[in-house]
Structures are given as structure tokens and as C-alpha cells.
Amino acid sequence: MIPGKSIETIEKKAKKYFINSGGCHDWSHIERVRALALKIGKKERADLGIIEAAALLHDIGRKKEAESRGRFCHAEISAELAAKILKKLNFKQEQIKNISQAILAHRFRNNHYPETIEAKVLYDADKLDSIGAIGVGRAFLFAGGEGSCRLYTKREKELAKKMGHKTTFHKDDSAALEYEVRLKYIKNKMLTKEGKRIAAERDKFMKIFFRQFWSEINGKK
């Protein structure tokens, strides 16, 4: 059991790492992931204290990753920073280990697999925030933030076939390309029963959105 005061202290410390953060991974992302993780965690009967602490700390290494131009994995940095914070707050070694493992394994593109139910819950919650209505909004925000001036190219499906599931940044980037390359497959990566249920709902919305998106581009009703 993790005391509420400890969670409040973790939240205050974590917020400092998100000053002037970009819109896709600012503090609002942490708040959404925490809410989703707690919702899923209750269904999965996981340790909600571990989940909440991990959700608050899971992205605190993003700035260092950006500063290194991607040479370092933000999940690994976040896990290291989190362990130091938790140790100073006198968390038990087993709690630190569980929280750190969940943080380490939350990333979409690293080699660490979520082993505990708490890690699986955080993984699902973080991925769910990249799909659905929020996911579509974040995709457009990200494309604009990367300097892409294109709303679409009409080459998204063609480019997606060439790229596979690997995201790269180039002049033809668009939110629609992000959907074709990555977002439409996230529902298949969920690890918990509740995560799969929520992902199915959000994926359905994205399909409807992009069907309407291309319909309007082509001048149809």
C-alpha cells in the first residue's frame, strides 16, 4: 500500500520534468495515462499504488532523450530517475523494483517486455492515449510540430506499405500517414482484457474519422 501523501509528493516532483514540454507529451498526457491506468488496473485487480506512481513517472526522461537526439531511450532514463526519487521517499525495494520495471517496459519501441500486471496496465494505458479521438488530435499536433506543412499527400497508403510499421520523419509526414503506419495496429498490441476492450472502441472511432476525412477530401458526402 502506497500512502496518498507519497503519491502527492511524486506528482509534485514529476511535474517539474514537464515544464515547457511539447503538446503531445506534456503533463496532460500524464494525467490521461494515470486515469486510464487506474481504470484498467481496477478491472485487472492490480496494485493501484504501483500503477499510479509508475504512470506519474513514466515519461520524466523525455527531455533528456530529446536533448540526446534520441541516442538514449526515455523509458530507461525515466526508470533510473524514478528509482532515485522513490529511494529518497523511502519506498520499499520491492516497490521501487515494480515501479521501475513498469516504466522501463512501457515504451512502444524498446526491447523490454512488461512482466507484471502493473507493467501491462501502464503499457496499455500509454498506448491507448495514442488512439481514439485523443490519438487523432495528437497525431495532427505532432505532424505540425515536426514542421510538416501537409494535411495529407494522398500517398499515405503507398508510403505505409514501403515503411512497414517503422515511423520516420520526412517531408511527406502527415497525421494520416501516422495512422496508416502505426495507430491502426495498436489495438492488436494490448495486453489486458480491459485494454483490449477500450482499444476496440477507440479503433472504431479512428476508422470512422479517417473514412470521413478521405470522403471530404474527395468531395463526397
Q: In order of start, what are the domains of the chain with their CATH numbers?
A: 4-118 (1.10.3210.10), 132-217 (1.20.58)
Using a cut of 0.85, tell me whether the model's pTM lies above it.
yes
Specify the pLDDT at position 102.
Answer: 97
**Cβ-based burial of 7 (10 A; exposed 0-12, middle 13-18, buried ≥19):** middle
Specify the pLDDT at position 168.
Answer: 57
Which residues, at least 6 apart from 95, have a Cβ–Cβ distance to it below 8 Å?
2, 49, 50, 53, 86
DSSP string, 34-87: HHHHHHHHHHHT--HHHHHHHHHHTTTTHHHHHHTTTSS-HHHHHHHHHHHHHH
Maximum distance among all alpha carbons in the chain? 61
Whole-angstrom Cα distance, residue 4 to residue 120?
23
Closest CA to 110 of 97, 126, 96: 126
Specify the pLDDT at position 5.
Answer: 77
In this prediction, the residues of the chain whose per-residue pLDDT falls under 70 are 1, 3-4, 23, 65-71, 108-110, 145-149, 164-171, 221
Specify the pLDDT at position 71.
Answer: 67
Which residues, at least 6 apart from 166, have a Cβ–Cβ distance to it below 8 Å?
181
Specify the pLDDT at position 158.
Answer: 86
What are 45's three cell numbers? 485487480
